[in-house]
A and B are shown apart, each in its own frame.
Chain A
Amino acid sequence: MRVRVLYFGVLKDLLGAERDTIDLPGQSTVADLLAIIEARKRTQPGLWKTIAVAVNQEYVLSAATLQDNDEVALLPPVSGGQEEARTDVG
């Protein structure tokens, strides 16, 4: 089967692409897909543990099983809205 993968934020820069298509054996899980992507391109340690995954625009757990033609989005920690000062006062 084949899934469509979307990269956002810092992942897009690190992987050098916004989207990808990846072939997988049937019954593959989200974790299997992440292992394939990680093996292709080494990034900083710990990055993958912060990533959330959405399949067809719904957050899923890493054990979720993928289907042919799924849209899988890899989402770094989100930073919408207005930035809260972390070290400044006020």
Chain B
Amino acid sequence: MLVEITNTVIDTAKIMATMKAGPDGAVCTFDGIVRNNTRGRETLFLDYESYEAMALQQMKALAAEAATQFKVRDIALIHRLGRLYVGESSVLIVVASAHRGAAFDACRWLIDTLKKTVPIWKKEHFVDGAVWADGEPFPDEIVPAQVVEG
């Protein structure tokens, strides 16, 4: 299991190559890259930041849960922080498994769950301004705090 938060370029080819082993029949990769626009607004770059100690701990827990739940052999889960430009990889997920179904399912579950629970945020810098990206609401089990009324 390879779980990392990095401030440097993610070497996708190298990581994919190291994830292959004899028992595998499938390696499923999700390479999340910076798009050149959000809802038509032209993007210059994104700044990613995290609550790093907690984010890494959460990512390790997700990888372990995915390995158990989908019965896949190995997982790499890497997130980059800092300033990323269009086309660069912000997140890389590689799942190696005997069978493709489990590899696809685990890969999809990992990105979907990471995006809802791992404490990482991005600020989108456009040609005409900057905003913090709208996050997805937290899942029910992470009940949002409610300020006491009055």
**Chain A residues with Cβ under 8 A from B34's Cβ?**
82
Is A17 interfacial (CB-CB < 8 Å)?
Answer: no
B27 to chain A, nearest CB (A): 19
Contacts A13-B132, A73-B54, A87-B39 given; does A79 touch B122 at CB 8 Å = yes
* Interface secondary structure of B, over-half rule: mixed
**Chain B residues with Cβ under 8 A from A26's Cβ?**
none
Contacts A50-B137, A75-B119, A77-B138 given; does A9 touch B147 at CB 8 Å = no
Is B105 interfacial (CB-CB < 8 Å)?
Answer: no
**Chain B residues with Cβ under 8 A from A57's Cβ?**
51, 53-54, 57
- Which of B35, B134, B145, B146 lies in contact with A79, CB distance below 8 A? B134
Chain A residues 44-59 with CB under 8 Å of chain B are 48-54, 57, 59
A80 touches B53 (CB 8 A): no
Please report the total number of A residues contacting B with Cβ < 8 Å. 37
- A51–B55 Cα gap in the complex (Å)? 16
Chain B residues within CB distance 8 Å of chain A: 32-35, 38-40, 48-51, 53-55, 57, 79, 90-91, 111, 114-124, 132-138, 142-148
Pick 29 A–B contacts, CB within 8 A, sort by A.
Answer: A8-B121, A9-B121, A31-B148, A38-B147, A49-B146, A50-B138, A51-B144, A57-B51, A57-B54, A57-B57, A61-B143, A61-B145, A76-B132, A77-B137, A78-B115, A78-B118, A79-B122, A80-B50, A80-B79, A80-B90, A80-B119, A81-B32, A81-B90, A81-B91, A82-B32, A82-B34, A85-B35, A85-B38, A88-B40
